[in-house]
Amino acid sequence: MKSINARLRTIFINRDSRFQSVIIGILVGICSGLAAVGLNFGLEKFSRFLSRFEGNFYVVLFPLAGITLTVFILKYIIKDFGGHGVPEVIYSISMKGGAIKFRSSFSKLIGSMITISSGGSAGPEAPVVISGAAIGSNIAGYFKTNERIRVAVTGSGAAAAIAAIFNAPITGIIFTLEVILGDWAPQNMLPVAIASVTGTIVSRMLKGNQIPFKHREFNVTLDDIFAAAGLALVIAIISLVFIRMLKLSAGVLEKYFKNAIGKAAVGGLLVGTVTVFLPYVKGEGYEVVRRLLGGNFIVPIGMVIILILMKIFATSVTLGAGGAGGVFAPSLFIGSVSGYFYFQLVTFIFPHANFTGAPLFALVGMAGMLSGALYAPLSGIFLIIEITGGYDSILPLLLVSFLTYTIVKLVERHSIYHHELVQKGFLLRPRTDKRILAEIQPAELLETDLITIYPNMLLKDLVPIIERSRRNYFPVEDPETENFLGLVYLNDIKSYLFNPALLNSIIVEEVMHTDLPIVSLTANMTDILKIFDTTGAWSLPVVEGNKFFGLISKATLLDHYRKELKVETEDL
Amino acid sequence: MEKTKYISAKEVAQALGIPMVTVIRWAHQGKIPCKLKKDGYVFNWEEINDWAGSHDFVPMKKEALDNDSAKDETISLRKAIERGDFIYNLSGCDIYSILKNALEKITLPEGTNKEKVLHELISREEIASTGIGKGIAIPHPRCTLNLKLEKPVIFVIFLERSIDFSAVDGKEVFVLFMMFSPCTEVHLKLLSRLSLCLREESFLSLLKEHAPKEKILIEIQRIETLFDSQRNDSLQ
């Protein structure tokens, strides 16, 4: 008798791919939703427990303990990679067909729970996104789906997680398509939407249908909209500071502390020192955001600037030291405080202008920061609409989001999620030249219908071989070792073939080319094309371990490229 | 329920003209419709055909899958002659009458217009003589006509007395190899095999003495087998 496992699997394997994605989407939505709510719940409990000790001098050591513990658990017990998680998800989608290790579905949840509740400055969204994606990837793997579906399902997990943690189904979908998958192909939509809906339902059942950030209704004035343009510039500058600071702190900590635990301890101590003086920058910081939007967060402008800089510093150090968490929540924090800062600035300069108020600017600043730091303008806009339950601020939202995005992109081409992947050549979005070239393997282009010849053959001996061969290239091998020696081009020897005297005197060794660029079976197509371009060759020999495997010709490569492009562009 | 007919990755690869490795990769990535069975991917012929159409691939022909063996068969001169016939002592005093008399004696597929064939043969001779030297001519039509031939046919015709065929070496022709081929490719291959035989003195002398059908066929067989074995040797 078949096991239940095997039976479950066979039910789905041979079904229509759309049916598959619906069923898997629901499953993934439930699991990722639970993970998101679970982390939320755990964070609340943990933070409440630790808040009892507030006021004692030793709380300065909490982040140290938290980050060190996180690094210890992730590195030595679960043995998972570091980093904030989102780039790893994008990497797996780009390069691994969406495959993610199972341990990633819980490692970051545990890590971020410790990091954030102990006072580290980071957000719970990235951990939830990677857990959701890992859950999706593993469910897809369980049902043995093909890679296309697995990629979509991995994205669905991320969508469900975002949807569940913010009670924001549209944001879940948009964030996945914009940041994670980078692809709005129709076949991705269905599983992503289903998972997003399911994740939201799970979250509402367990946490209730609340809007995370309530605010009064706005009546946006024309003055607000003009001011928004200036806000975009401020947010763009702060975004750039944030991006640079994240890179810098990771680099500096990496450089001076080779030991991961030591790095975590030093980072934790720095964060602890900052948070002791400025408890606002602790954790994910949503309390401050909530108060800002409610209009009851009032601090002087100098303090606001310190708050922004310190939050940037604390977040950069927390993540650079190896703490688990993301930049999503810190971005929202920094964005809202920056909005508040800008509001104070403009009311000081234009005391008579008709501005709606600090909450509106804080709100718009949040969306701006998501565009500026994460390069996710659409996600930012939809997130703000969904988490504030209102559409009234849409005009300045649109304006600030896209302006910030454009300005930041002028300076930094790639977001913090992408820049490392791009540097390593790991960001391959669907239907791009790089992606298509990466798909094609040398083995697929190998032309093997060639006749091997030997160096001491006379040209005369070649005549019957040339007669039979369909190709104009003849690989030369050492008769004893069978090692590849070079190539003979028919074109080169054509003129000797009709000269009986030369026919009997020239040997292969004298006419073969030995200084050819060779290609290995594992070479990537981008490099192979480069060789074609630089040498002007039309065919290159593929040699692995001194043995000749075949030829790769430019014509076949481009023919194959076009077929790959056709298959890649049209959906099933 | 009717059982769907599946084809293998190899067959898909052949029909679409892409390497099998690529077909399997596409299946793995979900770019081509397929089913995952215990022993690998299988493909539904109709699904693949639809898919090929919508992705701008040259649609595949089902027959192409089945007919592959026929293509691979090597062209054999002996078989072509066996399909035809041997005619001895054909009378005639010039090219025209010889060809006309020959056509009357041979059998071509049903419904062939012999008049038209004769016209084609003559017009080919007018362009350039098919007398290839050593007393041998190979009359054949310029185009394949509509003979509905599936396989090539050759008629060996010995003349009562040699005639002037305007051959390349000026010698009078005493034997004709009248060739009908389904396509140019086959025609050229037969021609190269014939020229191979004509290089052999033993074969030429058999022709000169108007040897009986069996002897000639055995000789051709000998030469062809020798050639094929040499070819296979050097291929390996």
Q: What does the pLDDT look like over A27-47, one tens digit per residue?
A: 999 999 999 999 999 998 988
Give residue-wise pLDDT tens across range A269-316: 999 999 888 988 988 889 899 999 888 888 899 999 999 999 999 999
CATH number of the B73-235 domain:
3.40.930.10
Q: Residue B72: what pLDDT?
A: 43
Q: Is the pLDDT of residue A191 over 70?
A: yes
- CA A149 to chain B, closest CA, distance in angstroms equals 7
Are A321 and A69 in contact, with CB atoms under 8 Å apart?
Answer: no
B188 in contact with chain A, both atoms CB, cutoff 8 A? no
Q: Residue B68: what pLDDT?
A: 44
Rounded Cα gap, residues A310 and A307, in angstroms: 5
A14 vs B28, B35, B235: nearest CB: B35
* Comparison of pLDDT for B116 and A174, the residue scoring more: A174
Helix then strand count (H, E) for chain B reads 11, 8
Give residue-wise pLDDT tens across range A537-560: 888 999 998 999 999 999 999 999
The interface residues of chain A toward chain B in range 416-445, judged by CB-CB distance below 8 A, are 439-441, 443-445
Q: Pick the catalytic residue: B28, B55, B119, B140?
A: B140
What average pLDDT score do residues A192-201 get? 96
Q: Is the pLDDT of residue B14 over 70?
A: yes
Closest-approach residue (CA) in chain B for A563:
B57
Top-tier CATH class for A222-425: mainly alpha
Q: Residue B1: what pLDDT?
A: 43
CATH number of the A436-569 domain:
3.10.580.10
Q: Is the pLDDT of residue A7 over 70?
A: no
Q: Output the CA torsion B196→B199→B203→B204 (10° steps).
A: 130
Is A444 in contact with B33 (Cβ distance < 8 A)? no
Cα A400 from chain centroid (whole Å) = 24
Q: Assess whether B140 carries a catalytic annotation.
A: yes
A11 in contact with chain B, both atoms CB, cutoff 8 A? no
* Comparison of pLDDT for B62 and A120, the residue scoring more: A120
> How much is the mean pLDDT over chain A?
89
Label residue B62 by pLDDT band (50, 70, 90). low
Are A567 and A431 in contact, with CB atoms under 8 Å apart?
Answer: no
Q: Is the pLDDT of residue A463 over 70?
A: yes
Label residue A9 by pLDDT band (50, 70, 90). low
Give residue-wise pLDDT tens across range B120-170: 888 888 888 888 888 889 888 876 666 677 788 899 999 988 888 888 888
Q: Is the pLDDT of residue A234 over 90?
A: yes
Q: Is the pLDDT of residue A144 over 60?
A: yes
Q: Residue B71: what pLDDT?
A: 45
Rounded Cα gap, residues A372 and A244, in angstroms: 12
- Contacts with A450 (C-beta within 8 Å, 6 or more apart), sequence order: A469, A471, A473, A474, A475, A550, A551
Q: Is the pLDDT of residue B194 over 80?
A: yes
Specify the DSSP element, H or E, that contains B41: strand B40-44
Q: State the CATH architecture for B6-69.
A: Orthogonal Bundle (1.10)
Q: Is the pLDDT of residue A55 over 80?
A: no
Is A148 in contact with B31 (Cβ distance < 8 A)? yes
Overall size of chain A counted in residues: 572
Q: Which of A146-160, B24-38, B103-117 has the lowest mean pLDDT?
A: B103-117
What average pLDDT score do residues B70-85 get? 75
Rounded Cα gap, residues B62 and B43, in angstroms: 14
Q: Residue B3: what pLDDT?
A: 59
Fold agreement between B6-69 and B73-235: no
Closest-approach residue (CA) in chain A for B35:
A14
Q: Is the pLDDT of residue B219 over 60?
A: yes
* Comparison of pLDDT for A111 and B115, the residue scoring more: A111
> How much is the mean pLDDT over chain B?
82
Rounded Cα gap, residues A11 and A188, in angstroms: 22
Structure tokens of A141?
């793997």
CATH number of the A4-207 domain:
1.10.3080.10
What average pLDDT score do residues A362-368 get? 94
Fold agreement between A4-207 and A436-569: no
B22 vs A147, A148, A444: nearest CB: A444
A147 vs B22, B30, B54: nearest CB: B30
Structure tokens of B121?
């043969």
Question: What are the structural domain ranges in chain B?
Answer: 6-69, 73-235
Q: What ipTM does the predicted assembly reach?
A: 0.83
Question: What are the structural domain ranges in chain A?
Answer: 4-207, 222-425, 436-569
Is B55 in contact with A441 (Cβ distance < 8 A)? no
